[in-house]
Each structure stands twice: as C-alpha cells, then as structure tokens.
Amino acid sequence: MPTMNNFYSQKIYPFLLATYRWYLRTPERSLDEAYKAAFKIKQIEDEYFNGNKIDPESVTYTSNVLDYFKTDLKKQLKIARMRLTEFQSSRWFSNESNQKAADKAGIEYASADSTLEKLRFIDQVISKYIHVDAETSAPNLANQPGNVQPVSAIIPQLLTPKLPNNNSNPKRKGKANTTGILPRSIFSTITRLQVELDPNSEQDVVKNFRQAQKRTIISIRFVLLLIIVPLLTHQLAKSLIVTPLVEHFRSSEEVQIFLNEEMEEEALTEIQRFEERVKFEALISNAPPLSAEEIESHIKEKAQEVAEEFRQESSNAIKNVFADMFSVGAFIWLLLISKPSIIILKDFFDNIVYGLSDSAKAFIIILFTDIFVGFHSPHGWEVILEGVSRHWGLPANRSFIFLFIATFPVILDTIFKYWIFRYLNRISPSAVATYHNMNE
C-alpha cells in the first residue's frame, strides 16, 4: 500500500492536476488564439493594404496576390470562429465552483478589462468583413446593416458554408447543355463588341495598364534586390567581419601558405620558369654572366614574392567561404520576407514567357538546352566547377567533376523534357511542334 500511495502521489496526481489546470485555462487560451488570428489580419492590413480592409479596391495587386491574401484571411477567420466558439462554450460550462478550484490550484485568470479589450479588438478587425461574408454565408444579416452583433455570435454565422437551396432546383449542366444552337465564336464576337462599346472600357484598359506597370516595376526591383543584396552583403561581410578575423588568426609567418597541392605545384612551376628565364637572359645578354650566388639570390626573392602571393590567395579563399555564407543567408532572408513579391515576379515571368511567339519559345528552349545539356556543355561545366573550387580554395577533383558532368546535365535534360511534355505541350502545342521541327 505505501508503494501504491507513493506511485499515486508522484505520477498520477501531478498528471491529473496538470490536466485539470489545462481545462480551467481553456477560456483564456481560446480567447488568446482568437486574438492572435485577428492580430495577424490586422498586420496584413497595415503592411500590404495601408491599414484598410483586405479588398481589391484598397490597393492594386494582381489576382494571384489577392488570392494569396484572401486564402490567409479565410484561414485566420476560421481560427477566430473556432476559438471564439470554444471560448463561449467553456465560459458557459464554468461556474463558481470552477473559480474556487482554480484559486486552489494557483491559476490566475486574466482580468476582465483585458478580456473585454481583446474582444473589442477582435470586433474592430473582423466587423469589416461581415457584409462581404454575409452575402454568401449568412443572408439574414444583410438586412441588418446597423446591427453589429458580438464576434462570438457573428463569426460562426459568417463562416458557415452556404447550403444549396432545394426550392430553386437549378438545372444541372451536362455535356449536352454546354453546346448551344449558335457557334461560340459568334457569342465571343458579341461580347467583344459589348466591351468595346462600353463607356467604362477605357477606364478598365487604363486600370489594367497601371496594374501591369506596377507589376513590372515590382518585379524588376525585386530581381535587382536579389542580385544586389547578396553581392553587397558578400563585400561588406568580407571587408568588415571576415577579413579582420582571418588576418588575426593567419598573421603569423608560420601559417600554412598553400591550401592544397595544386597551389603548391603552380608555385613550383612558376619558380622553375623564372629560374630558366633568368639563365636564358644571362646567356643572350652582353652583360657579364651572373654567378651562382646572384642567380640564387634572384630566385630567393622571386620565391618570397610567390609565397606572399599564394598566402594572400589562400587567405582570400578562406574569406570567400565565410562571406558566401553571409551572402546565402541574406538571399534566403530576402526570399522569406518577400512572399508577395515572389508571387508578382512569378506572374510577371509567366506573362513574358507565355506571351512570346511559338518560334521565340522554341528558340529560347533550344538555346538553354544546348548551353546546359548540349554536346559542348561538359566543357562549360568543367570551367564552372574549377572556378568554384579555386574560389573556395579547394582542389579540383577530376573524378568528382567527371561524375558531376555525367549525371547533372542528364537530370536537367530530363526535367526540360518533362516540362515540355507536361506543361508546354498543354499550354502551347504549336510551340512544341516548332521546337521539334527546329531541333531536327
């Protein structure tokens, strides 16, 4: 029995107490989650919509960007609805005995002022979207424009999916119903004429032009940022942070001069060529021949010069490694904070690429495939890999280079062919036909 009592006091009782505390904190926890959801909506409004409602009329964004924000809005509204429902339910079940139990368990509830303040903030944020959601999910609220209900009563009604009206009995459209009496081209021509005769068509054209102009400016600016920010970060980090640390640890003369054997062989080859040049110049000149001591002195000076040159090159390679880490970190950070700009850039490139003619598309595809996966591409990959290895002070491993050339271009070629078969063949079949004709 003592053993069972100890087990109960050490294992069971703390677990039950923690579970009971979690239950007693449910109202406060639910309200906090709803408050966080409303706060995220407010952040989107302040950062991307100038503090206004998330609406296409507030700012000029493309449809893809607006869909992104609307999806995030629906997600946060759903969280607020669920948490506020949980808040009301848990408060309905709470009573005076639960309050006394919470006091005994050492749980301090948030003050009434804090709770009311959070509810007011949620009301202020979400009440903007009442009438928009009411048209689709709660028609009975549309007749009460002046009656703003509490969030706990409004949110569940707003986000409840609208059920189809069984009394209307709409006709289901089958394949037979999609074919009209007249050809579709006639209807499309009539629609085009209606647009051209519409007095507001000029405003729509101007609005579309301004959206395209803004999209182009944002895309070009974002591309320049993707290029300039990593390069600038690389130079600043290398000059201000990495260089002082590397020079501090490599200040002694006993430090290793060469990072790999290739550097050492290159230095020896340079000294040998210098020695042969000195002897050759001494033989063809009219001056008195140099003694062995003088030749050795010249070679020693050259060796010290070469050693200092390769010491600087080794230090520079080490600096490049750490500076590139800062540059990659800045690039990733820029991508993480620029999700709307990435969506706009993707839309911009889609309009450019898919707006080209079929022959231009085929030309660009053939150009890229021949450069990266064509017959002469192995030489280019070899130069790139050797340059990267020298940039980081690594030995150019020929086996790795040949293995990379034997696998990576093949993978790229497979990706190109899959993209052509899967996407381009569906979007622009004529471009695929042109590509095959030009490739043959």
Q: What is the pLDDT of residue 225?
A: 93
pLDDT band at 166 (very low <50, low <70, confident <90, very high): very low
* Rounded Cα–Cα distance for residues 286 and 284 (Å): 7
pLDDT digits over 292-331, tens only? 788 888 888 888 888 888 888 888 888 999 999 999 999 9
pLDDT band at 171 (very low <50, low <70, confident <90, very high): very low
Judged against a pLDDT cut of 70, whether residue 414 lies above it is answered with: yes
Judged against a pLDDT cut of 90, whether residue 125 lies above it is answered with: no
Q: Two tokens at 429?
A: 């079949």
DSSP H helices in 259-291: 261-284
Highest mean pLDDT of the ranges 80-94, 199-213, 303-317: 303-317
pLDDT digits over 215-242, tens only? 889 999 999 999 999 999 999 999 999 8
Judged against a pLDDT cut of 70, whether residue 182 lies above it is answered with: no
Q: What is the pLDDT of residue 231?
A: 94
Q: What is the CA radius of gyration of the chain?
A: 36
Number of C-beta neighbours around residue 324 at 10 A: 18
Burial letters 283-300, b for 16+ CB under 10 A, else e: eeeeeeebeeeeeeebee
pLDDT digits over 14-49, tens only? 666 666 666 667 777 888 888 888 888 888 888 888
Which of 290 and 377 is assigned the larger pLDDT?
A: 377
Residues near 242 by beta carbon (within 8 Å), at least 6 away in sequence: 319, 322, 323, 326
Compute φ and ψ for 107, nearest 5 degrees: -100, 125
Q: How do the domains of the chain map onto residue ranges?
A: 2-158, 224-338, 356-439
Average pLDDT for the chain: 75
Q: What is the pLDDT of residue 71?
A: 82
Nearest residue to 389 via CA among 378, 379, 397, 381? 397
Mean pLDDT for 256-260 is 76
